[in-house]
């Protein structure tokens, strides 16, 4: 994945393990906040696809809807980090989202 990020946007991530925070930090070193946040959100959405495909059978329309929802959620998480200054705030939002879905609330 690190090479795919480099090939796509020209940003190299040298530290292991690769975390979302390190990806966003590397993107922010090269781009302004909004382009970096949009790229990170697209990666966040894309990284979920293999799990969805492995767990459930998806038609193209449902997959596109899921990608759009997760992309928008990623933008929200990135904006949360920017406004609060804490990655923990975004992590807690992500945890709450996943917990609600686990309880049967819609995405």
pLDDT tens for 67-103 read 999 999 999 999 999 999 888 999 999 999 889 987 8
Handedness of CA 71, 73, 74, 78 (dihedral sign): positive
Question: Is the pTM value of this prediction over 0.85?
Answer: no
Phi and psi angles of residue 71, each rounded to the nearest 5 degrees, phi first:
-60, -50
- Report pLDDT digits (tens) over 36-58: 999 989 988 988 888 877 877 88
Q: Taking the domains of the chain in order of start, what are their residue ranges? A: 2-102
CA–CA gap between residue 68 and residue 49 (Å, rounded): 12
Helices (H) and strands (E) in the chain, counts: 5, 0
Q: How many Cα atoms within 13 Å fall on the side-chain side of residue 78? A: 27
Q: Which helix (H) or strand (E) holds 22?
A: helix 20-30
């Amino acid at each position: 994945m690190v090479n795919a990020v480099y090939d796509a946007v020209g940003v190299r991530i040298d530290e292991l393990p690769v975390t979302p925070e390190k990806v966003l930090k590397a993107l922010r070193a090269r781009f302004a906040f909004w382009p970096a946040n949009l790229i990170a959100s697209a990666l966040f959405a894309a990284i979920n696809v293999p799990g969805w495909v492995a767990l459930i059978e998806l038609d193209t329309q449902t997959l596109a809807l899921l990608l759009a929802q997760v992309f928008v959620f990623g933008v929200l998480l990135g904006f949360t980090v920017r406004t609060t200054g804490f990655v923990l705030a975004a992590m807690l939002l992500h945890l709450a989202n996943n917990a609600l879905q686990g309880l049967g609330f819609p995405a």
